[in-house]
Amino acid sequence: MTTLPQSTTRKLGLVIDLDTCVGCHACVISCKGWNTENYGAPLSDTDAYGADPSGTFLNRVHSFEVKPPILKDQPAPEAQLIHFPKSCLHCEDAPCVTVCPTGASYKRVEDGIVLVNESDCIGCGLCAWACPYGAREMDAVEKVMKKCTLCVDRIYNENLPEEDREPACVRTCPAGARHFGDFADPDSNVSKLSAERGGMDLMPEQGTKPVNKYLPPRPKDTLSEGAGDIDILAPYLEPVAQEAKGFLGWLDKTLEKL
């Protein structure tokens, strides 16, 4: 068993905007590229060109279709597709740490990042079982547990220009749907964004107190039948004429005023 710190000085994590994520997988592959080359063992791929390719990814995008409930007397709302990127949430009460028999899994005191010390990892896989989010992956070649490091080797890296000291997934996200910062600081970009947009915990009932927050999609399809905006807009199409001749009269009158 491994103990968690009582508290951490900073709480570094991500805000992921589900209203903006287009599901392009840019974060998935950028993460794969950086973390193959950097912290710990490379992220391997087995059967890479074969029938059942399977590789280690620290971040994956899942897509879910949502069918909003049909309200009485209203047409069925359009179905929606939500892209949901998922990686380690760097929980405050991380069950993956406490379950670790060797102390290889740990949460950093200074910033709250949950890491695996690969030299102490025996590859037992208990942490992956304990994580309710499925955010850890056993590398099939190296037989060590891999997980999001929040790019701990980027965010403080003095060999990188200051503007690049953020996780690879955040730096690469084309839609700007990923944000990195310190949730312990109420004035940080991530704290403010989460407060403004109703940032949510993933599966709060698990009691893991995840640091990462998800911004929910904004209400959609407000210009469809049965939605609020539809009747307010009607006056904008008040006719100036019914047919071509009347239109010309209107045109002439209006041009005179220009």
Partner 1 sequence: MPKDQPDINLSPKVSDEVRKTTCYMCACRCGINVHLKDGKVAYIEGNRDHPVNQGVLCAKGSAGIMQVNAPSRLQNPLKRVGPRGSGEFEEISWDEALQIATDWLEPIRKEAPEKLAFFTGRDQSQSFTSFFAQNFGTPNYAAHGGFCSVNMAAAGIYTMGGAFWEFGQPDWDHTKLFMLFGVAEDHDSNPIKMGIGKIKARGARVVGVNPIRTGYNAVADDWVGITPGTDGLFILSMVHCLMKAGKIDLTYLAQYTNAPCLVNGDEKSPEYGLLLRDENGKELVMDRATGKLTPFNQKGVKPDLAATHRHAGISHKTVMQHMAERYLSDEYAPEAVAERVGISAKRIRTLAAEIARVAFDEAFELDHEWTDFRGKTHKTMQGRPVSFHSMRGISAHANGFQTCRALHVLQIILGTVEVPGGFRFKPPYPKPATVHPKPHCKVTPGAPLDGPHLGFVHGPDDLALKEDGSPARIDKAFTWENPMSAHGLMHMVISNAYAGDPYKIDTLFMYMANMSWNSSMNTRGVIDMLTDTDANGDYVIPRIIYSDAYSSEMVAYADLILPDTTYLERHDCISLLDRPICEADAAADAIRWPVIEPDRNVRGFQSVLCELGAKLKLPGFTNEDGSQKYADYADYIVNHERKPGIGPLAGWRMGENGTQSGRGGVNASQLDNYIENGGFFVEHIPEGANYYKPWNAAYQDWAVGMGLYDSPQPYLFSLYVEPMRKFQLAAEGHGDRQPPDHLRARIKATMDPLPIWYDPAPENLVDDFPITALTQRPMAMYHSWGSQNAWLRQLHGHNPLYLPTKLMTDNNLTDGDWAKVTSPHGEITVPVLEMAALNENTVWTWNAIGKRKGAWALDENAPEATRGFLLNHLIHELLPPKGDGLRWANSDPITGQAAWFDLKVRIEKATPPAESQPAMAPIKSPVGKGPSKLSWKVGK
Binding to partner 1 (CB under 8 A): which residues in 207-246?
A: 217-218, 220-225, 229-230, 233-244
Considering only 70, 122, 195, 251, the residue that binds partner 1 (CB under 8 A) is 251
Per-residue buried b or exposed e for 113-149, using 16+ beta carbons within 10 Å of the residue's own CB:
bbbbebeebeeeebbbebbbbebbbbbeebebbbbbb
Any contact of residue 46 with partner 1 (CB under 8 A)? yes
Kindly indicate which of the ranges 8-16, 38-46, 123-131, 199-207 contains the residues binding partner 1, using the contact rule CB under 8 A: 38-46
Tokens of 161: 């220009």
- Interior/surface letters 246-257, b for 16+ CB within 10 angstroms, e for the rest: eeeeeeeeeeee
In this structure, the strands spanning 213-215 and 12-17 are parallel
Q: Which residue has the tokens 């929910």?
A: 216
Residue in 152, 184, 200, 209 binding partner 1, rule: CB under 8 A: 152
| Region near partner 1 per CB under 8 A, out of 39-47, 84-92, 180-188, 198-206 | 39-47
Q: Which of 1, 72, 162, 258 binds partner 1 (CB under 8 A)?
A: 258
Q: Residue 107: what are its φ and ψ, rounded to 5°?
A: -115, 125
Residue 200 in the binding site for partner 1 (CB under 8 A): no
Closest distance of CB 246 from partner 1, Å: 9
Q: Which of 174, 186, 187, 205 binds partner 1 (CB under 8 A)?
A: 174
Which is nearer to partner 1, 1 or 205 (by Cβ)? 1
* Cα–Cα distance for residue pair 125/145, rounded to 1 Å: 7
Q: Name which position in 84, 98, 117, 138 contacts partner 1 (CB under 8 A).
A: 117
